Structures are given as structure tokens and as C-alpha cells.
């Protein structure tokens, strides 16, 4: 019998060993004390040290989620790894992640969706669970510190390393599961956040300067305004598709781009501040990993109630983004 829905059966998260306080970055960039927290809400973040890999970080979060779900490896049919910073350009990192978790009998694939990667992966995983009646491990992980230009204030103050994971399992009732998914893309903003070199359009060569393989943000203000618009618009549409209202949202888990953006979207949606789940102060912006990392931390601080309605929304490079409503 095919499941009637999917459920969030387990959560996990992981961060590297090194904590980097905002004061360290402010000193390097010549900023006054407290500037980063006032502008972004970030007090600290974690950066990988030599020897720490993306697949190791993803495996730590994945194992926590599997243990939390209490399921055996044979129950996992597929692994989706949302990342912008795989261990290598080729091969994909997901098969290595599966090996490290002892899930060699599972399918495994990378998804490159930037900051919205987890929402896309979650949506695809829900469809797989409903169609095949088997569980999926969704992991989002990034080591952005190795792609940040430390002299570029726009990106150096924001980005972090981290991983988050969820186990999506089949559920026999209709009290939980994905209720709406509104995904969006706007290629007119394709060049707003880029790593210029390394792809087939501009491959590596001896003539390329080092900063061409680092992340750049062309216009922070435009990124902010477009992200707020996309996240607000898709969140409202997702609520409409459920046939309910925003008052039914139990908790709001936005992509932790910066605290100002989270509050701007929340205020546009007229959601109470108490419903906002925020981890950016301690963990910074780890792109696709921020939502599942926040889910994992929040589930331990205040477990989700059965049927509690969660609103997740994100926007990032591409531009790509969207909103998902999921009943716990």
C-alpha cells in the first residue's frame, strides 16, 4: 500500500570545529566593533579547518538524522545532497556520502540549488516517498569559507560552513506531509552572486587570477530586495494553495541569509516574531544548509507538535528560490 503522505522522521546537523567570531572579521576588514552584528545579526559562525571535508560534514549531520529517526540503513532508498561546494567538481559527493553512512544500496545524487537547494530537494524527496513508499535522506551542506573572498565585505561577513539533514519517511495517515511547494526562478538575476571561473563557460587556466574562483556579490542591495520579494511572494502563494491562512503557520523557518532579510519577509507576511526560527546569530549563513540546520536545532529546543504547520522559504544565487509548507 502506498503511503498517504511523508513525514519528517529525523533531524540532524553538524558544524566544523573552528568558531569564528565577528570581531575577528571586523578586525581584518577594518570595521568598527559590532558592525557585523548590527547589519546582519551574526555574532559568530563556523569555518572548516584543514582536513575537514564537505562529505565528512554531511555524513555527521546525516548520521544524526538517521539515529534520530531510528531507522536502519536498508530503509533509505535515496540520498539527496544539496550543496554548492562538493568535495570535487567531479565525481559528485553524494555517492561518497552514502558510502560513509553505510548506505551503499541507496541511490545518491548531488543537487546544486544554492541557497534554495534544500527546499528543492525536500520537494523532490516528498514525491519519491509518496510514489515508492520508501524513505529518503535529504542533506544540505556547504563549506563556503573556502569560496569566500576575505577582502570582500559583502560576502566575508555573511558566509559560514555547516550541514543539516532530515529523514523523510512514508506515513500512513494524512496528518503530516508536504502541503504546498511553490518554486521560482528568475534568470535575469543570474550574475548577482557568482563564482566566475571553474565552469565550462570560463574553465580554469593558468591565466586566471585567484579571486576569480571565489564568490562575488555584485549588488548586495539588489540581492536583498529581490530575495525579500521572491520569498514573500512564494510564501503567500503557498499559503493560498493550502486553502488556509497565514495564521495557521506554527513556525516560520526562512533561509538564514541575514537577520534583516528574515525579519523583512516575516513582517511582509504579518507573522508574529515568536514564530520566527532563527539560528543566524551563532551559525551564520551556510546557504542551503541553514533551513535543515535550523530545523534540527529547533526540534531539540522545542519539538514540533504532530500536525504543526511549518513554513520554509528561501532565495539565492541564480536567482532561484521558493516556499514550502510542511505539516510536522
On whether the CB atoms of residues 327 and 304 are closer than 8 A, the answer is no
Set of cell numbers at residue 311: 513554513
Opening angle at CA 137, ends 131 and 140, nearest 5: 125
Q: Dump the DSSP string for 67-113.
A: HHHT--GGGEEEEEEE-SS-S-SSS-SHHHHHHHTT-TTSEEEEE--
CA atoms of 163 and 321, how far apart (whole Å): 19
Bridge partners of residue 327, in order along the sequence: 177, 309
Check if 285 is active-site. Answer: yes
Strands 5-14 and 161-171: antiparallel
Check if 115 is active-site. Answer: yes
The H-or-E segment that residue 132 falls in is helix 117-132
Check if 142 is active-site. Answer: no
Give Cβ neighbours of residue 45 (< 8 Å, ≥ 6 apart).
19, 20, 159, 160, 161, 282, 283, 284, 285, 286
Set of cell numbers at residue 5: 503522505
User: Cα–Cα distances in Å, from 8 out to 61, 66, 112, 137, 215?
Assistant: 15, 11, 22, 10, 33
Catalytic residue, chosen from 7, 13, 142, 255, is 255
Give Cβ neighbours of residue 47 (< 8 Å, ≥ 6 apart).
16, 18, 20, 145, 160, 161
Set of cell numbers at residue 91: 565525481
User: Cα–Cα distances in Å, from 277 out to 63, 196, 210, 322?
Assistant: 23, 33, 37, 17
Catalytic residue, chosen from 7, 13, 115, 142, is 115
Sheet containing 177-185: give its strands across: 177-185, 320-327, 309-316, 251-254
Catalytic residue, chosen from 142, 258, 262, 285, is 285
User: What residues act catalytically?
Assistant: 115, 255, 285
Amino acid at each position: 500500500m502506498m503511503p498517504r503522505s511523508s513525514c519528517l522522521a529525523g533531524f540532524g546537523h553538524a558544524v566544523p570545529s573552528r568558531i569564528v567570531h565577528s570581531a575577528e572579521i571586523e578586525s581584518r576588514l577594518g570595521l568598527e566593533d559590532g558592525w557585523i552584528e548590527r547589519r546582519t545579526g551574526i555574532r559568530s559562525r563556523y569555518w572548516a579547518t584543514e582536513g575537514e571535508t564537505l562529505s565528512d560534514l554531511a555524513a555527521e549531520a546525516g548520521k544524526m538524522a538517521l539515529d534520530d529517526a531510528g531507522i536502519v540503513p536498508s530503509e533509505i532508498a535515496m540520498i539527496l545532497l544539496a550543496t554548492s561546494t562538493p568535495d570535487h567538481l567531479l565525481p559528485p559527493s553524494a555517492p561518497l556520502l552514502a558510502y560513509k553512512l553505510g548506505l551503499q544500496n541507496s541511490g545518491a545524487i548531488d543537487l546544486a540549488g544554492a541557497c534554495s537547494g534544500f527546499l528543492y530537494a525536500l520537494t523532490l524527496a516528498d514525491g519519491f516517498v509518496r510514489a515508492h513508499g520508501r524513505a529518503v535522506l535529504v542533506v544540505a551542506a556547504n563549506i563556503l569559507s573556502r569560496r569566500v573572498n576575505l577582502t570582500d565585505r559583502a560576502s566575508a561577513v555573511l558566509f559560514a560552513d555547516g550541514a543539516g539533514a532530515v529523514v523523510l519517511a512514508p506515513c500512513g495517515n494524512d496528518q503530516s506531509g508536504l502541503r504546498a511547494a511553490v518554486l521560482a526562478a528568475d534568470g535575469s538575476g543570474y550574475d548577482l552572486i557568482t563564482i566566475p571561473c571553474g565552469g565550462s563557460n570560463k574553465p580554469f587556466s593558468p591565466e586566471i587570477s585567484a579571486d576569480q574562483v571565489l564568490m562575488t556579490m555584485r549588488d548586495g542591495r539588489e540581492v536583498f530586495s529581490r530575495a525579500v520579494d521572491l520569498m514573500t511572494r512564494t510564501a503567500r502563494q503557498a499559503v493560498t494553495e493550502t486553502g488556509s491562512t497565514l495564521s495557521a503557520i506554527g513556525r516560520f523557518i526562512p533561509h538564514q541569509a541575514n537577520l534583516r532579510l528574515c525579519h523583512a519577509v516575516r513582517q511582509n507576511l504579518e507573522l508574529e516574531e515568536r514564530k520566527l526560527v532563527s539560528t543566524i546569530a551563532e551559525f551564520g549563513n551556510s546557504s542551503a544548509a541553514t533551513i535543515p540546520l535550523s530545523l534540527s536545532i529547533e526540534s531539540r529546543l522545542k519539538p514540533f507538535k504532530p500536525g504543526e504547520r511549518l513554513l520554509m522559504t528561501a532565495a539565492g544565487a541564480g536567482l532561484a528560490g521558493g516556499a514550502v509548507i510542511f505539516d510536522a
